[in-house]
C-alpha cells in the first residue's frame, strides 16, 4: 500500500490523546498498515518500544536463516527504539518471533494478525524469538511497557571501503533531544568521514529546529548564512486580514508571549521569521566539505525528514534510495505543508497554514519525493550492515562493488507488511522563536 493515499493534511485530536494511539478496536485490522504508536517527540515515550512486520517468503528460499519449501509468512522485528524496554530486554531488528504470550505461531494468518495487534498494544508481552541475524538460538523475553528517554539514533558507524570512510547514520525521529546525540556522533565518530549516508526510512518527522540542526552538520562550509528554506503563508496572513489570529497564542504553554497576528509573514530574504539560513557555527563537530549525500527513505519518511532533504538539494548532490516494505519504495510520504495549533475546548485542530520551499524555490512534493533506486527493506540485516539491501544500494552509489551488487540482487520476499507507523507526528508544527515541530 502506498501511504501517499492516506489522509494526512488536516485533522482534529483530543488534548492528551495523541501520544499513544491504540487500534485494538479498529475496524480495519486487515489493512496493510496499522498506526499503533505515535512517538512523543519531546524525547520521552511510553511504550514497549518495537515494531514487528510480517514477511512472506517465496517457496524454496531462505530468509533470516529460515528455509521454506512453500510460501510461508513469518513475524520479524522491524525496529527497536534505543533505550526502550524492548531494547533493554535484548530485542533487536531481525529477530524472528516464534511465540507470543506462550502461544506458538508457525505460518501467520489474518486471525494471528489480530492477536499480534492486541499483544503489542498491551502493557506487557512475552516473546520467544530466534536471532535471525546471527543464528538459530531461541530466547525468551518478557517486556513491560514503561516511560523512557528516547535515544533517536538507531545506528551510527563508519564503514571503510576502498580508502573511503563512509559515515552511516540511522535516525528514528527528530525529537526534542536529538541535537545532543548528533553532537556526540559527529564529534566522536564522523570527524574524518569522506562520505555520508543518512537513513531516514523510519523517520516520520519531529522538530523543525532539529532537522535544521542536522542540515547544518551536513552542509558544506560554503552554505553558511545562505538561505536554507522559506516559509510561505497565504495573503490573509501577509495582509493582516485575519483578526482571528489575535486570539491564538504563539505557544499555548506561554500565552503571554504574543499571538499569531503579531508576526511578519512576508516571505522575503530579509525577514528572519519566514526565511531560515544555514548557520554552520551552531553545529558542533559538523562536516564541512561534503559535496554528495545519500538518503535512505521510504513512504514513511515525512515532514521534517523531507524538509531536511529538500533544504540540501540546492547545495549538494542529493540521492534517494527507497526502502520497499509492502510497497515499491518509489517515493517518500509527501508533506511540504504545516500547521500551528488551534485549541477549541478540549480539542486541538490542525489544518494547513503554510508550506516550505528551499533556496531554489523547490517544494510542493505532495505526492512524495521520488527515489532514484529502490531495494527491499531487508529486515534480516541490522542497521549499518553493508549487506542490508538498502544500505548496499546506497554504498553502490559511492563505490562500485560486485559483493554489494550480489547483496542487492537477492530478494526472496513475495510481500511484507508493517504494523507500527514509525514515529510520524503527521504534523509540521510551527512555534516561532522556540523549538517547532513537523
Strands 195-199 and 146-149: unpaired
Which residue in 59, 9, 132, 125 sits closest to 412, CA to CA? 59
Per-residue pLDDT of 141-177, as tens digits, reads: 999 999 998 899 999 999 999 889 999 999 999 988 8
The C-alpha atoms of residue 381 and residue 392 are separated, in whole angstroms, by 11
Question: pLDDT by residue (tens digit) across 223-279?
Answer: 999 999 999 999 999 999 999 999 999 988 889 999 999 999 999 999 999 999 999
What 8-state DSSP symbol labels residue 259?
A: B
Q: Please state, in angstroms and rounded to a whole number, the distance separating the CA atoms of residues 149 and 46.
A: 9
Residue 12 and residue 96 in contact, taking contact as beta carbons nearer than 8 Å: no
CA distance linking residue 165 with residue 431, whole number of Å:
38
Are the C-beta atoms of 216 and 224 separated by less than 8 Å? no
Q: What is the pLDDT of residue 434?
A: 46
The C-alpha cell at 410 is 537477492
Mean pLDDT: which of 90-94, 109-113, 397-401 is highest? 90-94
Q: With contact defined as beta carbons under 8 Å apart, do 87 and 383 qualify?
A: no
Is pLDDT at 196 greater than 60 in this prediction?
Answer: yes
Write the pLDDT tens digit of every residue in 266-312. 999 999 999 999 999 988 789 999 999 999 999 999 999 999 999 99
Confidence bin at 118 (pLDDT 50/70/90): confident
Q: What is the pLDDT of residue 413?
A: 85
**Residue/partner pairs of 373-376 with CB below 8 Å, 24 or more apart:** 373/321, 373/322, 373/397, 374/321, 374/322, 374/323, 374/324, 374/328, 374/329, 374/330, 375/321, 375/322, 375/323, 375/324, 375/329, 375/408, 376/323, 376/324, 376/325, 376/411, 376/413
Query: Which cell numbers hold the place of 45?
Result: 515515550
Cα 315 from chain centre: 23
The span from the CA of 121 to the CA of 23, in Å, is: 8
φ, ψ for residue 405 (rounded to 5)? -60, -40
State the pLDDT at residue 112: 80
Domain ranges of the chain: 19-149+414-418, 153-408
Task: Show the cell assigned to 281.
Answer: 557555527
CATH node for 19-149+414-418: 2.30.42.10
- CATH homologous superfamily of domain 153-408? 2-enoyl-CoA Hydratase; Chain A, domain 1 (3.90.226.10)
Cα distance between residue 61 and residue 20, in whole Å: 38
Prediction pTM value:
0.89
CA atoms within 13 A on the CB side of 238: 11
Rounded CA gap, 347 and 234, in Å? 25
Q: What is the dihedral of CA 391, 300, 336, 9, to 10 degrees?
A: 180
Amino acid at each position: 500500500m502506498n501511504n501517499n493515499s492516506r489522509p494526512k493534511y488536516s485533522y482534529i485530536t483530543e488534548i492528551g490523546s495523541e501520544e499513544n494511539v491504540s487500534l485494538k478496536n479498529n475496524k480495519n485490522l486487515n489493512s496493510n498498515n496499522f498506526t499503533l504508536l505515535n512517538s512523543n517527540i519531546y524525547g520521552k515515550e511510553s511504550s514497549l518500544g518495537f515494531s514487528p512486520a510480517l514477511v512472506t517468503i517465496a517457496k524454496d528460499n531462505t530468509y533470516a536463516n529460515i528455509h521454506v519449501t512453500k510460501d510461508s509468512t513469518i513475524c520479524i522485528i522491524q525496529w527497536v527504539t534505543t533505550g526502550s524496554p524492548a531494547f533493554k530486554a535484548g530485542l533487536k531488528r531481525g529477530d524472528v518471533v516464534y511465540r507470543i504470550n506462550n502461544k506458538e505461531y508457525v505460518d501467520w494468518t489474518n486471525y494471528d494478525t489480530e492477536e499480534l495487534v492486541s499483544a503489542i498494544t498491551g502493557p506487557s508481552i512475552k516473546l520467544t524469538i530466534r536471532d535471525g541475524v546471527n543464528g538459530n538460538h531461541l530466547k525468551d523475553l518478557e517486556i513491560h511497557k514503561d516511560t523512557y528517554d528516547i535515544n533517536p539514533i538507531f545506528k551510527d558507524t563508519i564503514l571503510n571501503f576502498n580508502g573511503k570512510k563512509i559515515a552511516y547514520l540511522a535516525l528514528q525521529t527528530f525529537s526534542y533531544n536529538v541535537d545532543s546525540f548528533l553532537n556526540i556522533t559527529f564529534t566522536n565518530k564522523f570527524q574524518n568521514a569522506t562520505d555520508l549516508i543518512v537513513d531516514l526510512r523510519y523517520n516520520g518527522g519531529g522538530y523543525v529546529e532539529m532537522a535544521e540542526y542536522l542540515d547544518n552538520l551536513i552542509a558544506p562550509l560554503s552554505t553558511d548564512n545562505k538561505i536554507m528554506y522559506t516559509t510561505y503563508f497565504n495573503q490573509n496572513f501577509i495582509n493582516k486580514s485575519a483578526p482571528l489570529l489575535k486570539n491564538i497564542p504563539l505557544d499555548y504553554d506561554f500565552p503571554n508571549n504574543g499571538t499569531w497576528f503579531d508576526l511578519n509573514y512576508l516571505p522575503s530574504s530579509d525577514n528572519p521569521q519566514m526565511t531560515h539560513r544555514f548557520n554552520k557555527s551552531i553545529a558542533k563537530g559538523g562536516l564541512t566539505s561534503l559535496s554528495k549525500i545519500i538518503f535512505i527513505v521510504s513512504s514513511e519518511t515525512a515532514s521534517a525528514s523531507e524538509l531536511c532533504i529538500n533544504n540540501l538539494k540546492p547545495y549538494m548532490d542529493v540521492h534517494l534510495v527507497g526502502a520497499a516494505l509492502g510497497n515499491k519504495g518509489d517515493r517518500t510520504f509527501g508533506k511540504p505543508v504545516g500547521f500551528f495549533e488551534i485549541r477549541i475546548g478540549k480539542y486541538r485542530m490542525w489544518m494547513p497554514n503554510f508550506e516550505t520551499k528551499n533556496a531554489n524555490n523547490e517544494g510542493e512534493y505532495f505526492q512524495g519525493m521520488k527515489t532514484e533506486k529502490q531495494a527491499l527493506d531487508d529486515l534480516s540485516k541490522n542497521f549499518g550492515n553493508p549487506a542490508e539491501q538498502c544500505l548496499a544500494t546506497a554504498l553502490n552509489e559511492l563505490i562500485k562493488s560486485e559483493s554489494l551488487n550480489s547483496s542487492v540482487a537477492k530478494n526472496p520476499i513475495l510481500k511484507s507488511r508493517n504494523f507500527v507507523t514509525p514515529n510520524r507526528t503527521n504534523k509540521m508544527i510551527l512555534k516561532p522563536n522556540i523549538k517547532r515541530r513537523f
